[in-house]
Amino acid sequence: MRSLILIGHGSHLNGESATAVYRYADLIRERGLYDEVVEGYWKEEPSLRQVLRTTSSTDVTVIPMFISEGYFTEVVIPRELGLGHQGPVPPGGVARVIGGRTVRYTLPYGVHPSMTDVILARAREALPDFSAQDTALIVLGHGTTRNENSNKVIYRAADLIRESGQFAQVQALFLDEEPKVGTWPEVISAPRVVVVPFFASEGWHTLETIPEDMGLTGEVTAFPENPHGAQTVYYAKPVGTHPAVADVILHLAQEASGALAQDGDVERGHEQAWQTVLSRARRGLRIGEVMITPDSGVYELRHALDEGRPGAELRTLVTPEGVRDTIRKDDGGEHRPVHTLRNAPRGWRAVLSEEDLRRAVHYAYPAVVEETYAHTCHALRATPWPTTARRQTGIYAKVQKATPEQVEHVAHDVCTSCLRTRLWAGEKLTHTFLDGVPGGIPCAEACTVLVAEVREEVSGKRGEKAG
């Protein structure tokens, strides 16, 4: 039995941020090579701290879904997973035994040599008949003076493609460092130019900054009076959204497993947690705002406030992914980075097999089953606020300055709308949804929404917002 975890950054503000990771997880799941494919995030649920606990096997491979090596892949993710490793990840990855699971952590997918295939696939989409006679390729990266690793992968990919002899010229250019993208008319002499952005997703840079810096007006732009003569630029989509990235992920996972790979076993604690939930679900169960009703060998899930409404009035979902995509937004279409906040959408019902029920509950309430069961076994450790604050980085590092009173003030506002009980603040939880108390769910560690609100408080912006 083998589990694969894909790690993304996620966002507590923007639901689209996690979409690419979900899409690749779906693609790999369809191939059936792993018993399960699980997603985990820094800024959404399940969090990096929770995600290992949500895997059902003792053999886990973790792929960081990042385009280059850097602070997140070398420091944040290993630390949050408890890998006991910091710094550059060796080519074969890092393997550790954590809580009975063998965990293999790999390099980010973007640095894998087979990303050159993805660059070529994107180039071919933009200009199917590119040729070594008249076409130049620009591999375009972000680049930054803060992280020398981020450009290495672009140079290496450009070198490999240059050696293959498929283009008249191959050039690495960057947005934020030399050689800059705006210099392309001086450095490129071929009449046809394909530009492939080495970016993880479509966004501000690929849609606005790059076209602006290059003077592009669409997917194909003619430049009749450039220094080297007339040139036409063909602008490709970013590499990170190409379906072939799924193959790169599988290459990485297989290489991490190595020749001595053996399948793992069912993780006993995880299985016990789910068997406990399923035995309750067979008699009918409420978890938070969601009610589970057994019906002739299948299960129906719906919002508890929709109890009694005729099925014809509700949108019927038949897959766990349907539940996932529905429940990630509230009734107003707003992103829900924390699912235990009491704002689950209404108006739907899901009809699922017992196997699919597990995944649907996982999507509806990520890590809740595992953490609640661990709590009932006295095996859930709470993380005090100062520890959580110390782990915040970048613009969130300022939450370390928050006083206990400020944290409590914010928690009073934010956590009142949440089902969870704050173990990290010393609150007690004596009965859980497993005992028939739907809202009985432990909170072992301050979540991303609370951290963001504490930052606003420290910055003096919460009052402004309220005012």
Helices 448-458 and 404-414, packing angle to 10 deg: 130
CB of 422 to ligand SF4, least distance (A): 5
Nearer Cβ to ligand SF4, position 273 or 415? 415
Lay out the site mask for ligand SF4 across 58-97 (x = CB under 6 A, - = otherwise). Answer: ----------------------------------------
Nearer Cβ to ligand SF4, position 54 or 56? 54
Nearer Cβ to ligand SF4, position 111 or 449? 449
For ligand SF4, which residue of 7, 195, 447, 458 counts as binding (CB under 6 A)? 447
Nearer Cβ to ligand SF4, position 241 or 421? 421
Interatomic CA distance for residues 54 and 371, integer angstroms: 9
Quick one: tokens of 435? 């005992």
CB of 449 to ligand SF4, least distance (A): 6
Nearer Cβ to ligand SF4, position 28 or 441? 441
CB of 383 to ligand SF4, least distance (A): 11
Q: Under rule CB under 6 A, which residues in 380-419 are in contact with ligand SF4?
A: 411, 414-415, 418
CB of 447 to ligand SF4, least distance (A): 3
For ligand SF4, which residue of 49, 192, 302, 420 counts as binding (CB under 6 A)? 420
Q: Under rule CB under 6 A, which residues in 301-320 are in contact with ligand SF4?
A: none
305 vs 165, 256, 309, 316, 343, CA distance in Å? 63, 46, 9, 16, 11
Q: Is 21 in the site for ligand SF4 (CB under 6 A)?
A: no
For ligand SF4, which residue of 81, 168, 446, 454 counts as binding (CB under 6 A)? 446
CB of 339 to ligand SF4, least distance (A): 9
CB of 453 to ligand SF4, least distance (A): 9
* Residues 6+ positions from 453 with CB-CB distance below 8 Å: 410, 413, 414, 462
Quick one: tokens of 369? 């089953």
Q: Is 462 in the site for ligand SF4 (CB under 6 A)?
A: no
CB of 443 to ligand SF4, least distance (A): 3
3-state helix, strand, coil in the chain (%, to 5): 40, 20, 35
For ligand SF4, which residue of 233, 443, 454, 458 counts as binding (CB under 6 A)? 443
Instruction: Label residue 463 exposed, middle or buried (CB < 10 Å: 0-12, 13-18, 19+).
Output: exposed
Which residue from 384, 109, 123 is spatially nearest to 237, judged by alpha carbons?
Answer: 123
Which residue from 73, 93, 72, 75 is spatially nearest to 84, judged by alpha carbons?
Answer: 75
Which residue from 72, 78, 15 is spatially nearest to 334, judged by alpha carbons?
Answer: 15
Interatomic CA distance for residues 304 and 284, integer angstroms: 12
Beta bridge partners of 394: none
Nearer Cβ to ligand SF4, position 50 or 55? 50
Interatomic CA distance for residues 421 and 382, integer angstroms: 11
CB of 340 to ligand SF4, least distance (A): 5
Q: Under rule CB under 6 A, which residues in 323-362 are in contact with ligand SF4?
A: 338, 340
Interatomic CA distance for residues 124 and 367, integer angstroms: 42
Nearer Cβ to ligand SF4, position 115 or 454? 454
* Beta strands 36-41 and 3-8, pairing class: parallel
* Residues 6+ positions from 145 with CB-CB distance below 8 Å: 176, 177
Q: Is 449 in the site for ligand SF4 (CB under 6 A)?
A: yes
Measured from the Cβ of residue 422, the count of other Cβ atoms closer than 10 Å reads 21
CB of 387 to ligand SF4, least distance (A): 14
Residue positions counted in the chain: 467
* Beta strands 3-8 and 59-64, pairing class: parallel
Q: Is 368 in the site for ligand SF4 (CB under 6 A)?
A: no
CB of 414 to ligand SF4, least distance (A): 5
Q: Is 287 in the site for ligand SF4 (CB under 6 A)?
A: no
Nearer Cβ to ligand SF4, position 52 or 415? 415
- How many residues sit in the footprint of ligand SF4 (CB under 6 A)? 13
Binding site for ligand SF4 (CB under 6 A): 338, 340, 411, 414-415, 418, 420, 422, 443, 446-447, 449-450
